[in-house]
């Protein structure tokens, strides 16, 4: 990425997000200094010097690793534009299994109305994915989480509160099928509406282009280990009860893979697009306070702090989640108040009511 492109992207961040203001100003100054340094080098005629673009916030994640999931990626792909998508999880064959899950860096799962859960995966914009779906409507707590990523938000409509929040969200590019139509979405003719709305890599690139979004964005990343941890433990099963058995989630740990397989409603979940098993390297159960607002709409309180459980390497760790303000990133800390270091790879965050049941055996 050229210095001029970097300055353009940082100015876009400045415009889109209050959280990025300070970072953007500092980084623009550094980028301009880089230009002056380059000119000085050119005058001196030092032909052996190699100039490499550094990250604006190098202490937030290991150099050469992707900010969303800690995976090693080629230079220039460490800070991709996040693409957040609202997905259906209704317990019917036309919905499950979803398409595109194995390509996501982070996936959130939470209740909607009536005991039904929905998913919200976060993808790096450059990922090659042939189909993501089925896409459904937004809820305000999902919008609040999506704002932590300062990226694109794909959905089809939403609750009145969610739509209101999206209209005022300066740190999201709102890609709503109800307002924008089909340029960034397609309907699967083999499935019935409303469970057939999808997007894909090509349509995502159109959305980025048409909205003038940069290819890279610096987020406040979680901490990731330089090497994946190992644990010499027996295989375990994590069970999470959201509501009925149709929405019960089981994660079965495989020691050989050092990963958890996802089961939903008793069925092994494989990606509809690739038939690959959905495997999580980290699972975070975040206990949240819930309430019911007007019109029987569920509300989830995500600001403050609360209990959490973190599962990785076959081991459970008691933790605390903290989100001091609406604009800050949710982070997870051990009982020793140290930020938890995650394994590189896919992370699932299960937003479970405080009275929800979790069993690990």
For residue 334, count CB atoms less than 10 angstroms from its CB and return exposed for 0-12, middle for 13-18, buried for 19 or more: middle
Q: Tell me if 162 is assigned to some domain.
A: yes
Quick one: CA dihedral 154, 157, 163, 167, positive or negative? positive
The CATH number of residue 195's host domain is 3.50.90.10
| Total domain count, the chain | 3
Helix (H) or strand (E) run with residue 33 in it = helix 21-44
Do 338 and 274 share a structural domain? yes
Do 351 and 242 share a structural domain? yes
Residue that finishes a domain, picked among 169, 195, 210: 210
Do 328 and 273 share a structural domain? yes
Q: How many CA atoms lie within 13 A of 86 on its CB side?
A: 28
Tens digit of each residue's pLDDT, the chain (361 residues) = 444 444 445 445 444 444 444 444 444 344 444 433 433 333 333 333 222 333 444 445 556 899 999 999 998 999 999 999 999 999 999 999 999 999 999 999 999 999 999 999 999 999 999 999 999 999 999 999 999 999 999 999 999 999 999 999 999 999 999 998 789 999 999 999 999 999 999 999 999 999 999 989 999 999 999 888 777 788 999 999 999 999 999 999 999 999 999 999 999 999 998 999 999 999 999 999 999 987 789 999 999 999 999 999 999 999 999 999 999 999 999 999 999 999 999 999 999 999 999 999 9
Q: Tell me if 222 is assigned to some domain.
A: no
Do 87 and 40 share a structural domain? no
Interatomic CA distance for residues 161 and 352, integer angstroms: 21
Range of the domain at 185: 82-210
Q: Tell me if 73 is assigned to some domain.
A: no
Whose CA is closest to 145, among 283, 328, 278? 328
| 264 contacts 251 by C-beta, under 8 angstroms | no
Q: Tell me if 229 is assigned to some domain.
A: no
| 331 contacts 280 by C-beta, under 8 angstroms | no
């Amino acid at each position: 990425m050229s210095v001029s492109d970097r300055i353009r992207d940082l100015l876009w961040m400045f415009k889109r997000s209050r959280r990025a203001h300070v970072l953007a100003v500092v980084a623009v100054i550094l980028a301009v200094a880089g230009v002056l340094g380059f000119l000085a080098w050119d005058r001196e005629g030092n032909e052996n010097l190699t100039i490499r673009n550094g990250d604006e916030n190098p202490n937030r994640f290991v150099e050469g690793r992707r900010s969303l999931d800690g995976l090693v990626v080629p230079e220039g792909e460490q800070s991709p534009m996040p693409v957040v998508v609202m997905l259906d999880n209704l317990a019917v064959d036309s919905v499950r299994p979803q398409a595109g899950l194995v390509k996501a860096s982070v996936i959130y799962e939470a209740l909607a109305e009536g005991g039904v859960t929905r998913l919200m995966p976060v993808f790096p914009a450059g990922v090659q994915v042939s189909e993501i779906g089925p896409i459904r409507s937004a809820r305000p707590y999902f919008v609040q989480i999506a704002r932590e990523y300062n990226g694109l938000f794909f959905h089809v409509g939403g609750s009145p509160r969610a739509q209101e929040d999206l209209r005022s969200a300066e740190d999201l590019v709102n890609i709503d099928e109800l307002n924008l139509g089909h340029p960034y979405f397609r309907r699967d003719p083999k499935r019935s509406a409303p469970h057939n709305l999808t997007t894909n890599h090509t349509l995502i690139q159109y959305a980025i282009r048409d909205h003038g979004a940069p290819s890279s964005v610096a987020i406040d990343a979680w901490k990731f280990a330089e090497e994946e941890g190992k644990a010499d433990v027996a295989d375990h099963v994590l069970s999470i009860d959201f509501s009925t058995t149709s929405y019960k989630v089981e994660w079965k740990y495989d020691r050989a893979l050092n990963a958890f397989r996802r089961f939903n409603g008793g069925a092994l979940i494989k990606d509809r697009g690739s038939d690959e098993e959905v495997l999580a390297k980290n699972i975070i159960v975040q206990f949240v306070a819930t309430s019911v607002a007007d019109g029987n709409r569920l509300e989830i309180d995500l600001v403050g702090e609360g209990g959490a459980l973190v599962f990785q390497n076959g081991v459970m760790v008691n933790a605390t989640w903290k989100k001091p303000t609406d604009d800050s990133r949710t982070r997870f800390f051990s009982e020793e108040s140290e930020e938890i270091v995650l394994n590189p790879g896919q992370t699932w965050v299960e937003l479970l009511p405080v009275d929800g049941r979790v069993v690990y055996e």
